[in-house]
Structure 1
């Protein structure tokens, strides 16, 4: 009996797939960096029984119409706005993601981004590297304190809770907004639920950790930035689409907020000429929220375990319903 064919949309280490070679035949796009072209992916999907993809691949209705044998799409991410879930469900294709395994790593990066932005770490490093450091001065590259300030977390899910635990260690006051109350975070972390508008007004640091949905698209718009304190710092480690980038650019230029730390953007990648990349009070990262070696291996392993479960007739470990 022929083994199911699993197509992987980026080159990954052989050691990760080796334990599964007795059960599956694998084919993968042979680039670690460059995304697979859409037309090539469509041709591969025609033959594949399973697909392991990244957030860079748009698995839309056009692509799914060509899927003749596909039983599972294992998305190497928590978010799944790159996949047409409805179209997949209509074809009986199971879709899975990789929650939990990246929670702590993404929270590390989110808080590191907050700290780097508040204390102007990137700007200060460039100051030295560009040979600008000639004297010490009392207010040279002075940033903002983090300890005992108010953090406003928009999206108190697993990652939001993990960021809140880190904030608690800094003695921060934790405020949050979520679609529903998170009583566990309130009880264990002392987090206070606020309306979205109230959070914008009260927080010193506004951290976006919400998924991209029709409701959250560009929720951080001109009106939202105008409600923030002038001293506020905005951090986005969720999806670029939750922000109206032009409104953010205007808010920064007009000094309506102090700074921004961004790991995600509306269109990725951005060029060095992008207005946000040109601003000294903005820290830009190339979407590396979960990018530790340990976590990336765990994410790929979870994708493969989901695939194995489906072809073994078992329930997937982390299905998207």
Structure 2
């Protein structure tokens, strides 16, 4: 074991994930539910050759400077804005991601959030649990997907899967993207973002976090939305101005907001808020909020961890790892 490279797993993983390193690496793993504080993480990774990272880590130039033995970061992620890929490249550290395995479950949850929001599921659940339910009454009328116009902002893989999954709901589907998108085998109509916001009953966000998308749904965009429309965000919290969303809900302009992601989670933003706007989580806020569980199915998480582990094993063995973000020839030193 002394001659094997050290690999650190920063968050709790399945036993079979750790087993993939048997005979290939010595593993140090965080077995708790909470991420290690940065000081503890740096202490564990200081002599590591491989690192399995999750969205709880902020891997910047300072982090990489403190870990001179690091050769590969296998991110159990699709979006990797919490990793300074350029700083890693300059130090010859490979970075891999898992590009496809989060797509289907994330799209599925997004549709579930839309149904829960439009059909007022949480209000109904509270009514039944409150002890005053005496049977059917003419109340809690909501909005279903059937017969609605649904807009998808961002038509990459997640947006396309949302569209495909929606096809059986009998809704009109509009899509818009920041760049031209190839035709897909769905009954999707392409529209400008402005038109999409104006006519959609449900708006799904399916964009990555980038300079061009931070705060792209703010007060002016919310004012443009169809009165009473619902906004669903399974992508990144910082795509929206959460305070503006709370304002629009209080004013009765926005019909509801559902989110699986929140701006305070976007570690790469120095100006990120420290917490969720409390108006979004207060009783009666017309929101559905879930704790970043887009990919949290047992089968998906097993596959995601296995893919990240496989890339680390490949990289440490001198192979070109799957999911490599930066081509080997662009790395700052020989790996």
State TM-score, norm by structure 1.
Answer: 0.94
**What is aligned with 2:245?**
248
TM superposition shift of 1:271: 7.5
Find out whether 1:282 has 2:302 as its counterpart: no
Unaligned runs of 5+ in 2: 267-273, 327-335
TM superposition shift of 1:268: 4.5
Secondary structure, in 3 states, of the residue corresponding to 2:165?
helix
Checking the alignment, whether the CA contact within 8 Å between 1:152 and 1:174 is kept in structure 2 is yes
Secondary structure, in 3 states, of the residue corresponding to 2:263?
coil
CA distance in 2, matches of 1:136, 1:294: 38
**What is aligned with 1:319?**
324
TM superposition shift of 1:214: 0.9
**Higher RCO, Cα 8 Å, sep 6+:** 2
> In terms of mean alpha carbon deviation, does 145-154 or 247-256 score higher?
145-154
Per-residue CA distance 1:52-97 (angstroms, 9 max, x = gap)? 0110111112111112111111111111111111111111111111
Checking the alignment, whether the CA contact within 8 Å between 1:4 and 1:24 is kept in structure 2 is yes
**What is aligned with 2:162?**
163
Secondary structure, in 3 states, of the residue corresponding to 1:109?
helix
**Segments of 4+ moved more than 3 angstroms:** 268-273
Secondary structure, in 3 states, of the residue corresponding to 2:280?
coil
State TM-score, norm by structure 2.
Answer: 0.90
**What is aligned with 1:150?**
149
Unaligned runs of 5+ in 1: none
CA distance in 1, matches of 2:277, 2:20: 44
**What is aligned with 1:192?**
189
CA distance in 2, matches of 1:174, 1:210: 17
TM superposition shift of 1:279: 4.5
Checking the alignment, whether the CA contact within 8 Å between 2:53 and 2:73 is kept in structure 1 is yes
Find out whether 1:217 has 2:214 as its counterpart: yes
Q: How does 1:81-96 map to 2 (within 5 A)?
A: 81-96=81-96
CA distance in 1, matches of 2:149, 2:254: 15
Find out whether 1:229 has 2:231 as its counterpart: no
TM superposition shift of 1:117: 0.6
CA distance in 1, matches of 2:72, 2:307: 13
Secondary structure, in 3 states, of the residue corresponding to 2:264?
coil
**What is aligned with 1:24?**
25
Find out whether 1:98 has 2:98 as its counterpart: yes
Secondary structure, in 3 states, of the residue corresponding to 2:46?
helix
**What is aligned with 2:51?**
51
Per-residue CA distance 1:239-271 (angstroms, 9 max, x = gap)? 111111110000110011101111111124998
TM superposition shift of 1:182: 2.0
CA distance in 2, matches of 1:290, 1:70: 27
RMSD: 1.8
**What is aligned with 2:199?**
202
CA distance in 2, matches of 1:17, 1:130: 44
TM superposition shift of 1:29: 1.9
Checking the alignment, whether the CA contact within 8 Å between 1:272 and 1:278 is kept in structure 2 is no
Per-residue CA distance 1:182-228 (angstroms, 9 max, x = gap)? 2232xx11212222212111211110111111111010111110000
Checking the alignment, whether the CA contact within 8 Å between 1:29 and 1:36 is kept in structure 2 is yes
CA distance in 1, matches of 2:194, 2:93: 39
Checking the alignment, whether the CA contact within 8 Å between 2:14 and 2:302 is kept in structure 1 is no
Change (3 A) 1:279 1:86: farther
